[in-house]
Structure 1
Amino acid sequence: MATLKSIAEKAGVSISTVSRVLNQDDSLSVTEETRERILAVANEMNYQRIKSHQKPQAKTAVNVGLFYWYSEDQEVADPYYLSIRLGIEKACFERGINLVKLYRNEDTYQTNFKGSLHGVIAAGKYSNQDLELFKQLSPHFVLVDYAFSDEIDCVVPDFRKAIIEVLDYLLNQGHEKIGYIGGKEYVQDDEPIRDEREATFYEYLKLREMYRKGYVWTGRFTAEDGFELMNKALSSGDLPTAFFIASDSMAIGALRALHEQKVRVPEDVSIVSFNDIEMAQYVHPPLTTVKVQTEFMGETAVDLLVEQIQSKRTLAKKIVTPCKLIIRESSGTKS
């Protein structure tokens, strides 16, 4: 069965570009040659969405705005939000919902769409000002990967339970010196956002009198920062025997730093990361990581928004999706 990934590989473009071409995103800037090549490959591979070149018609047209928090380049570097977006697009297509791209313009959110929006889905982190702007677009909206308040529908992964499972696992493997490499995210006014992964890491180890401030390194959620932060850890002179790294992209960069310094994984240092992006199983060694059901989160956000639009409920819902620890070769018992 043809997938966006297989089409992207054969057409020689990114998954994000394929998705936006097949969804007829007019704001995408690609050459006509590239667009035609993608459509030709999709037809050749019998991709179901392209067969009719039309979305199924819903009984009543529903227009949903989707705010793209990450740029295309950011999605390629860290496909976490790409996977959420693909889940949203898939669910909207199956329901016959017209998905409208939103973009930020100074202090407002705009779209080229001329009609009215029945709802808004926003994946990412937002300020109170952002949420007020969303309310102006539609009274119905859902946040994905961010629980702002008890008054707004949201879909989030169970970060806390997942990190506890990771740390239980590392302790059972004999590791007592556990480091953390993670990223910082900010809302519009450079206000830092609490990261549940880092907070749970701190609380879990502090309770057991095992937390060491010098074992925590933070930057951005990129492979480049994973590489730089692991090099800082290596130069500290007191290297933990295991690391929890808050994203697979950062972990891939950290692995490169360890390989360059001839530090063996997992013999010298165990690595456990987060997200389980597709690349995680193909690096050397394959990453032990927490699988987040990102595409399911996107699909659930659409279900939640439709239910919100069609019902008269006044209380908000918070959907917490489960995560799963996937044991691979980057972690093991303490030597």
Structure 2
Amino acid sequence: MTTIKEIALRANFSNTTVSRVLNNDTTLSVASETRQKILDVAKDMGYKTLQERKKEKQPPSDMKTTKIGILLCHSVEEELNDSYFLSIRQGIENECQKRGLVTTELFRLNNLTSGQISSDIKNLIVVGRINSDILDQISDQLQNIVYINHTVDEDKYDSVIIDFEKATIRALNHLLDHDYKKVGFIGGKEREHLNGGKVEFEDIRKSTFKNFMEDKGLFIPASFHVGEFTMADGYELMKYSIQQDDLSDAYFIASDAMAIGAMRALQESNFKVPEDVAIVSFNDIELAQFASTPLTTVKVQTEEMGRLGVKLMVDRLNGREIPIKVTVPTRLVVRDSCGTRNQSNAVKLKKEVGS
């Protein structure tokens, strides 16, 4: 960004004079030719005053009255059990507030019936998975739709997603690279809720784990468990695995909430994490770092996903017609639960001593 100092150097005036001219200081006595020269140089160099930059960040006046709906494809109970979607929603709400978009309405899919989204809402941010046919049933007046955590017709709609397959493979490679060969899976079901009914989707973490481990010749059907994305089911599924008397050396668990429940079941049976069983999970919710054994987990920038959804919607309202799909990167946060942190530190120390 061009600075006052750079403009002053090119215009051959003092920093103070340039600053006061650009900020429209009415108490400054300066020749009109001087003022115009400074303004021309600033314009040529692409400089924008603080007032101009603030104005650019503000939504157009008509946008402040534009209604944006937020459709949540999960129930209140699911949001309470796993803060993944809660964090996305908070990101949406915070970005709307930041941009002065106060005219938003919140809907939950399981509470909607046909045509229940009010007719004055033409713009919708959808959080979660929903069949496009069902969306057509509940609203037929939508002009702009942004999907978060799911893609529907990427040639038509904007979306903000993560690469679940890539993230899952990174987590599994981390375990395999540290000599865990017997790796189990605990995960949940992706569902769509409407009018009391449920439609199940294939969870990419689950399918990726199965395909990846089968390709490696390491898939163990007896250590592959699927329930709901809750702490309670994480607890029950690990408890079931313990009762089978065939515990894996490590588990990839598809959410932090389930992992916390699973660790409780292990601790009740006097198994230590990571000494007896290593765990890598997914999401990196705030609680992950404060669990009884801090969780190694795939960090998902959930709040940023929500903010990006709003930015894409605002961009659409400003006239963009080409659909955009944004893939937000993830990273593996290594803590104590995988049992590799000390190994990594030891290798690092060895290298430092030897260097």
Q: TM-score range by the shorter chain?
A: 0.7 to 0.9
Q: Distance in 2 between matches of 1:214 and 1:317?
A: 41
- Corresponding residue for residue 253 of structure 1: 261
Separation of aligned partners in 2, 1:75 and 1:220: 12
Q: What is the aligned partner in structure 1 of residue 85 from structure 2?
A: 81
Give aligned-pair identity as a percent.
Answer: 37
Displacement of 1:72: 3.8
CA RMSD of aligned residues (A): 2.0
1:69 aligns with one of 61, 68, 73: 73
Rg larger for: 2
Find the aligned partners of 2:182 and 2:115 in 1 and give their Cα distance: 47
Q: AA paired with 1:164?
A: I
Cα shift at 1:58: 5.0
User: Does structure 1 conserve the Cα–Cα contact (< 8 Å) formed by 2:116 and 2:139?
Assistant: no
Structure 1 counterpart of 2:114: 107
CA distance in 1, matches of 2:130, 2:140: 15
1:276-295 correspondence runs (5 A): 276-295=284-303
2:185 aligns to what SS in structure 1? strand
Partner SS for 2:120: coil
In 2, are the aligned partners of 1:156 and 1:297 still within 8 Å (CA)? yes
| Alpha-carbon separation, structure 2, partners of 1:326 and 1:159 | 15
Using the TM superposition, give the Cα deviation of residue 159 of structure 1 relative to its aligned residue in structure 2, in angstroms.
Answer: 1.1
> Out of 161, 168, 177, which is 2:166 matched to?
161
Counterpart for residue 232 of structure 2: 224
Distance in 2, matches of 1:198 and 1:82, equals 22
- Say whether 1:327 aligns with 2:328: no
Q: Secondary structure, in 3 states, of the residue corresponding to 2:266?
A: helix
Amino acid at match of 2:171: V
1:15-65 residue CA offsets vs partner (Å, 9 max, x unmatched):
xxxxxxxxxxxxxxxxxxxxxxxxxxxxxxxxxxxxxxxxx8852222100
Residue identity matched to 1:89: E
TM-score by length of 2: 0.73
Please list every run of at least 4 consecutive aligned residues from structure 1 whose deviation after the TM superposition is greater than 4 angstroms. none
Contact 1:118–1:309 (Cα < 8 Å) also in 2: no
Secondary structure of 2:69 counterpart: strand
Q: Does the Cα contact within 8 Å between 1:120 and 1:134 map onto a contact in 2?
A: no
Could you tell me whether the CA contact under 8 Å between 2:164 and 2:205 is conserved in 1?
yes
**Equivalent residues in 2 for 1:120-159 (5 A)?**
120-133=124-137, 136-150=140-154, 151-159=156-164
TM-score by length of 1: 0.77
Residue 262 (structure 1) aligned with residue 265 (structure 2): no
Q: What amino acid is aligned across from residue 260 of structure 2 in structure 1?
A: I
Q: Which residue pairs with 2:324 in the alignment?
A: 317
- Specify every segment of 5 or more residues in structure 1 that has no aligned partner in the other structure, as ranges: 1-55
1:242 aligns with 2:247: no
Deviations 1:274-333 (A, max 9, x none): 1111111111111111110000000011111122222252x4322111111111111125
What per-residue deviation string (whole Å, max 9, x for no partner) do you get for residues 83-105 of structure 1?
00000001111111121123443
AA matched with 1:86: Q
* Residue 246 of structure 1, CA deviation: 0.4
- How far, CA to CA, are the matches of 1:319 and 1:134 in structure 2? 26
* Counterpart Cα distance in 1 of 2:253 and 2:173: 15
- Assess, with a 3 A threshold, how the Cα gap between structure 1 residues 135 and 108 changes in structure 2: closer, same or farther: closer
Alpha-carbon distance, 1:157 to partner:
1.3
Distance (Å, rounded) in 2 between the aligned partners of 1:182 and 1:75: 16
Q: CA 1:319 to 1:134, structure 2 compared with 1: closer, same or farther past 3 Å?
A: farther
Hey, what does 1:183 align to over in structure 2? 188
Structure 1 partner of 2:38: none
Cα distance in 1 for residues equivalent to 2:310 and 2:215: 39
> Contact between 1:134 and 1:141, CA under 8 Å: does it hold in 2?
no
Alpha-carbon shift at residue 134 of structure 1 (Å): 5.9
For residues 192 and 316 of structure 1, the distance between their equivalents in structure 2, rounded to whole angstroms, comes to 27
The one-letter amino acid of 2:112's match is N
Look up the equivalent residue of 1:259 and give its one-letter code.
Q
2:214 corresponds to which of 206, 218, 228: 206
The count of residues paired between Structure 1 and Structure 2 equals 275
Q: Distance in 2 between matches of 1:174 and 1:186?
A: 34
Counterpart secondary structure, 2:226 = strand
Looking at structure 1, the residues matched to 145 and 218 of structure 2 have their Cα atoms a distance apart, in angstroms, of 41
What stretches of structure 2 of length at least 5 have no aligned partner? 1-57, 344-355
Cα drift, residue 207 of structure 1: 1.4
